């Protein structure tokens, strides 16, 4: 019997596997570019501040754009967005190479290029905190629950904001024992919430046979709003953790005083 609850179950889908392999190849290219940026900066300047600015430029957009980026990715056509962002990242890399061939680019331009490339990837940390982003049937089509992803990520957030104007809890960021392996643990944690989201959605629909009215949102919210709040809080904390990791790997430079 196939274990559909395994975190590796999505890899059994040929389409998902192809996308996963392509994403892995793209990420490897991004890592190579990241190393190249720091290498180039070390040739241009030995300033610890400027070296740390490269890491800052690559991670600060995560703090600012993670949530807006995730929301945009759910609103627009994801295929077109993916193509656009990947082409833009390629253009950034090509511009750096062309600038290097013609003579070292300005330090400011290098920092801006790093920030632009990171901005495109910034929503991925927050995406790891959304349960239905970790499964092939993210919209609930196979389970007969079309739109459950939007109801969880957008609808419940609307209920929260309309009812209490809630803001995520601010939690301290720590590196932990395995900062680079942590995203895989985050993926597993989010995936473990999928069965609960689907079952609670079905239960809420039974509570409101006429449609997605007040009874539905009251039932769905009662069971899932605590999870929505927790995942949003974790998204901020985990994004801060990645920024802390970059700052630490840059040598923990002090902030300038002027």
Q: Once rounded to an integer, what is the mean pLDDT over residues 27-55?
A: 71
Of 102, 124, 146, at which residue does a domain stop?
124
Spatial neighbors of 126 by CB under 8 A, at least 6 apart, are 66, 67, 69, 70, 235, 239
Question: 3 in a domain, yes or no?
Answer: no
pTM, entire model: 0.59
Same domain, residue pair 43 and 104: yes
The model's pLDDT over 65-98, given as tens digits with 9 standing for 90+, comes to 666 666 666 666 777 777 777 777 777 667 666 6
Highest-scoring range by mean pLDDT, 80-84, 163-167, 210-214? 210-214
% the chain with pLDDT above 70: 68
51 and 151, same domain (yes or no): no
Q: Are 44 and 120 part of one and the same domain?
A: yes
Beta-carbon contacts of 108 under 8 Å, excluding residues fewer than 6 positions away, are none
Q: Distance (Å, rounded) from C-alpha 227 to C-alpha 197? A: 9
Same structural domain for residues 151 and 199? yes
Distance CA 26, CA 49 (A): 29
What distances in angstroms separate CA 11 from CA 15, 48, 98, 136, one per listed residue?
9, 42, 38, 9
Of 124, 157, 192, which closes a domain?
Answer: 124
Residue 116 within a domain: yes
In a domain, 40, yes or no: yes
Query: Token match 């609808």: residue?
Result: 155
Structure tokens given for 47: 């300033």
Euclidean distance between CA atoms 144 and 226, whole angstroms: 24
Q: What is the CA radius of gyration of the chain?
A: 21
Residues 237 and 165 in one domain: yes
The structural domain count of the chain equals 2
- Is the pLDDT at 230 greater than 90, yes or no? yes
For the beta carbon of residue 230, count every other beta carbon within 10 angstroms: 14
Same-domain status, 85 and 24: yes
pLDDT at 39: 74
Rounded Cα gap, residues 208 and 202, in angstroms:
10
Q: Is the pLDDT assigned to residue 159 strictly greater than 50?
A: yes
Do 91 and 170 fall within a single domain? no
Asked, for residue 249, whether it belongs to a domain, the answer is no
Are residues 23 and 114 both part of a single domain?
Answer: yes
Q: What's the token pair of residue 172?
A: 């301290």
SS3 213: coil
DSSP annotation of 131: G
Question: CA dihedral defined by 147, 148, 153, 156, rounded to 10 degrees?
Answer: 110
Domain stops at, among 109, 124, 139: 124
Are 246 and 59 spatial neighbours (Cβ–Cβ below 8 Å)? yes
| Residue 58 domain boundaries | 12-124
């Amino acid at each position: 019997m196939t274990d559909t609850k395994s975190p590796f179950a999505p890899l059994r889908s040929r389409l998902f596997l192809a996308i996963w392999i392509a994403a892995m190849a793209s990420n490897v290219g991004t890592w190579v570019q990241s190393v190249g940026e720091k290498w180039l900066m070390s040739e241009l300047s030995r300033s610890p501040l400027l070296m740390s600015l490269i890491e800052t430029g690559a991670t600060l957009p995560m703090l600012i754009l993670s949530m807006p980026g995730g929301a945009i990715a759910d609103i627009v056509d994801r295929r077109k967005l993916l193509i656009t962002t990947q082409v833009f990242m390629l253009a950034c890399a090509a511009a750096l190479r062309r600038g290097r061939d013609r003579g070292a680019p300005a330090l400011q331009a290098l920092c801006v290029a790093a920030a632009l490339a990171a901005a495109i990837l910034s929503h991925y940390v927050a995406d790891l905190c959304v349960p239905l982003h970790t499964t092939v049937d993210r919209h609930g089509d196979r389970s007969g629950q079309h739109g459950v992803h939007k109801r969880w990520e957008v609808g419940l957030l609307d209920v929260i904001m309309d009812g209490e104007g809630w803001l995520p809890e601010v939690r301290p960021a720590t590196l932990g024992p395995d900062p680079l392996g942590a995203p895989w643990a985050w993926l597993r944690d989010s995936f473990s919430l999928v069965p609960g989201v689907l079952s609670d959605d079905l239960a809420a629909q039974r509570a409101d046979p006429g449609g997605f009215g007040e009874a539905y949102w009251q039932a769905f919210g009662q069971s899932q709003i605590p999870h929505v709040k927790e995942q949003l809080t974790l998204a901020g904390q985990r994004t801060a953790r990645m920024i802390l990791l970059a700052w630490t790997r840059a040598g923990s430079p002090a902030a300038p005083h002027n």
